[in-house]
Structure 1
Amino acid sequence: MGRRPRPPDFDAREHLLDVAIALFSERGIANTTVAQIAAASGVTSAMVHYWFQTREKLLDAVVEEKLAVAFGAIWAPVDTEHGEPLALTQGIVQRMFDVTEKMPWLPSLWLREIINEGGLLRERAFRHIPLQKVAAFAQNIARSRASGELNPQLEPLLVFNSILALVILPQATAKIWQRVNPGFSFDRATLERHVVGLLMHGMSGKPAQAAAAPARRAKRKTS
């Protein structure tokens, strides 16, 4: 039986890249061979080498053609000078979910190969993270905290870390938690509602002030 015909607009290189990324996110880069990528793609190992020459160039393509695009989609619209902090935060969350919806492999790959110490994409990815925008976002949070607009207990430099953890970790570990609770839904609407609810209420200055009042009353009673 011959191979199924490819559509006229089939992009062999893009297909190989997509298959490689899916395997990297599932097994880890170190545990994925060129032969496995070729077999999953329905081609020979020689074809993988034809398009990417070396394993290093394949990893460069993953970062430059996929991860860098994801970073840009999340951060390019952020206007840290004029944006209201809660709106900026909600926009980052929404775009991060947009990206992971288009790239469902991203959460697992992020944990395996970027966050994890020794991850094989860490240094490559770091060069493409828009650090100036991340820092400017933290400065926006700091200004709003100082003005009383946001919860005074916030640590501005950790806000984006919190967003990243809330969006990425549940998606990366969804299969584990679905085994624990098979009836729970990890669909985007559920996760996004949860993340936005936590962030908007946790970051807002009003709930923090309201929560502080009972604590102050309790302290007066014990003194």
Structure 2
Amino acid sequence: MTKLVKNRVLNQLNYLKSFGYEYHESLDFFSNNIKNAKLPNNINDLSISVSHCYLCELSKCRKNILFGYGNTNSDIMFISDEPSNSEDELGSFYVGKSGELLIKMIENVLNITKEDVYYTTLVKCKSTNGLNNSNIETCHDYLLKQIELIKPKLIVALGEKTYSYLLKNGDNFSQSRGKELVFNGISLIATFSPTFLLRNPSSKKDAYYDMLKIKNYMESLN
């Protein structure tokens, strides 16, 4: 359709509108409701769908797909940015030094096991040259569907990248960390990622206090 024809069509539509004709509002084909409409409404079926995903370049370099792990009826959901090298290598969460540290954070502070929480990542495949927003956007619908199906009462965002992507508010991570925030109507508390803490052990004390706040929040639900 040429520009001239488009202008003629628009002029005709505007002319008819002046006589009271109404037109359906334009559809947002990228809205979450439309994009999620065809995703399975069962967590196991969703996992199978993700296991056959080849929508971005991460699928070309991954060794394994890491969908999620833990209690699908849990009130608390941990979200990290991406699987670690060890997790990609072994096809399992909570492996390697970062996985071991996360277990300690959960078990030693929250006094529950890793099986009591649900854990997943923004993307389901390990990147080789660092995550970019395109990779995360491709996986975003999977994550939203996971959250919809798990129905957590609290989301724990592990790391600045996870926090920044989910909230998109531009607030400083160091100032927002440990505070009760909201993502899609669900309470969210951000803290340091285990990977960051391994590189910056001096921040473990702050992470400990964040986990105490998470524990207090969870206890307040009972």
Flag whether TM exceeds 0.5 (same fold). Answer: no
TM range (shorter): under 0.3
Q: TM-score of the superposition, structure 2-length normalised?
A: 0.25
Answer 1 or 2: which has greater helix percent.
1
Answer 1 or 2: which has greater strand percent.
2
Q: TM-score of the superposition, structure 1-length normalised?
A: 0.25
